[in-house]
Structure 1
Amino acid sequence: MNSKSTLALLLTLIAPVAAPLAAQSTVTTPGQELSDLIYGSIGDDSTTEIDMGQFVDFGRSIFVSIDSNEDGAISHGEFTQWDFGFEFIAEDKGRQQAFQAARNILFANWDRNSDGTIDRREYHRAMAWDYRRADANDDAFLSREEFLRGYTVIKTYRAALSE
């Protein structure tokens, strides 16, 4: 069999599988839509990338909204009761247990001294670390793609929601 006929055979075998996979990659999931909304809420409308200052400001506003008793620290209960909107997706997919495990892992990672709360300093350090980790090209800005692929919260929740 020559290389042209081998290629033709290979394409014939792959075509039925490749078409559905290609179609899946263009389908927007509820999680992706929510992640896009979150990314859009961080910067202003005039920028296509977000900088560390915008990201930290976003983090501060999230911290305040999670800290429901306003004591300057986030308890495990406050952390797991607050939600961007991913919990509804987890319920819809029957992935509540995996989603709760993801929340617990995030909390444990951000509670650096393991005292059962995340104080402002711990939260700020986690946000700064997550930003640097997501900045794949080290240009000090996060593109939408970098945010969606590299931000720890999005990655962790995406893993929990996937089947």
Structure 2
Amino acid sequence: MITTILKRETCAECLICCHYTDEDVWDAPGFTKKEFEKNSIDGNYHYYCSNKLFYLEMEKNSKNEYVCPLLSDKGCKLGVNKPFKCAIWPLYIVNINHKIALVVSDVCPNVYRLSNKEILHGIKCILPSIQTMARNYPELIEQYRDNYRFVTYLDS
């Protein structure tokens, strides 16, 4: 999804979204039940469920980072079927003052440097899908954090 504003090659060179430290492992993406079942994850990976989302257990690598077990030398093993949270990263759906909003994290410098106007223009074709996911899966709504920049409200 996010390839509407970020080239796949740029993501492939970085992969920061697939590696986590002890401080940011909380940000590992969760699958909705539908995504989890669609990708036949059960039985292939160790996982746990929290707040209606399914999370894959990760092990640390030689750099003392947790690495998503779906990351291969060729990128995500799920390809276009990756979970919604991965597909829109570094964008997040959050609750701000009882309103649902779309924000961008400063962890991805390539997207964060874009203006809100550039982001909105780039995602205009997927914005309805983002709004639908927020409505249908409230468990995808994240806590607002200081390193997020407000982009737009999703509910009018």
* TM-score (normalised: structure 1): 0.28
Compare the two structures and name the one with the higher helix fraction: 1
Q: State the structure with more CA Rg.
A: 1
Compare the two structures and name the one with the higher strand fraction: 2
* TM-score (normalised: structure 2): 0.29
